[in-house]
Chains A and B, each alone.
Chain A
Amino acid sequence: LAKTTQPISMDSYEGQEVNITCSHNNIATNDYITWYQQFPSQGPRFIIQGYKTKVTNEVASLFIPADRKSSTLSLPRVSLSDTAVYYCLVGPWVIGGYQKVTFGTGTKLQVIP
């Protein structure tokens, strides 16, 4: 599984856009990039997933450059409720089997009023 590197923590004011970048230099051809959000004492929650270019859903956008060695999670206009730990995970497609999700050290986002 590809190793990921993210900033340990970030602060942002309410209403701002937050970009969290994850490095994954040894990403493999069949690896997807997935981001999870975790609030204190709760289970991680899927946010977004992508393979290349840009993916957008109702919660966030994910930007992946052509070389796929990094990815950026973009949260538009954050609110206090977005204060959480954000994990970037890189893992392969699975065909007819299982997969192991390896959590690295996530980014603790603190949104300030």
Chain B
Amino acid sequence: AAGVIQSPRHLIKEKRETATLKCYPIPRHDTVYWYQQGPGQDPQFLISFYEKMQSDKGSIPDRFSAQQFSDYHSELNMSSLELGDSALYFCASNYVVAGPSTDTQYFGPGTRLTVL
């Protein structure tokens, strides 16, 4: 079965540079979520999109922005990178139907961002 695809899998950047992470949800999934997981920490919700509109926002820094495109893929843009941004960034997707649904999300393999 198709899974969530994230690219790149690894990324190394210098401080103050920018980075763009991409997420391709499972086909027919209409909702995308982004999470950040620092070393030894639990995943922290950043932002989500439903049908190409931002649906919720968590602890996402103002330096970060994201969007979901017409083909439902999503990109997380990170500017003025700081050392503390080094983390695993996960994308998850699901299909939110117009009926009772539950919070089962399918996670991608993650992008490991290292800021030097």
Contact = CB atoms under 8 A, between A and B. Distances in A.
Tell me whether A and B are bound partners. yes
A39 B45 CA distance: 18
Main secondary structure of the interface of A (DSSP, over half): loop
Given A34-B104, A41-B110, A43-B108, A100 B58 contact: yes
Interface string A36-53: 001001111110010000
B85 to A, nearest CB: 17
Contacts of A34: 102-104
B107 to A, nearest CB: 3
B70 interface: no
Contacts of A106: 42
A97 B110 contact: no
Interface residues of A, number: 28
B96 A41 contact: no
Contacts of B45: 100-103
A105 B110 CA distance: 19
B22 interface: no
A104 B41 CA distance: 10
Interface stretch (A14-22, A62-70, A75-83, A86-94): A86-94
Contacts of B56: 98, 100
A3 to B, nearest CB: 13
Given A95-B100, A102-B45, A103-B44, A44 B90 contact: yes
A34 B105 CA distance: 10
B4 to A, nearest CB: 8
A96 interface: yes
Given A42-B109, A43-B92, A43-B107, 4 more contacts: A43-B110, A87-B42, A93-B100, A97-B96
6 contacts: A44-B107, A93-B101, A95-B101, A97-B55, A100-B33, A101-B105
Interface of B: 4, 31, 33, 35, 42-45, 48, 50, 55-56, 58, 88, 90, 92, 96-110, 112
Interface of A: 32, 34, 38, 41-46, 49, 87, 89, 91-106
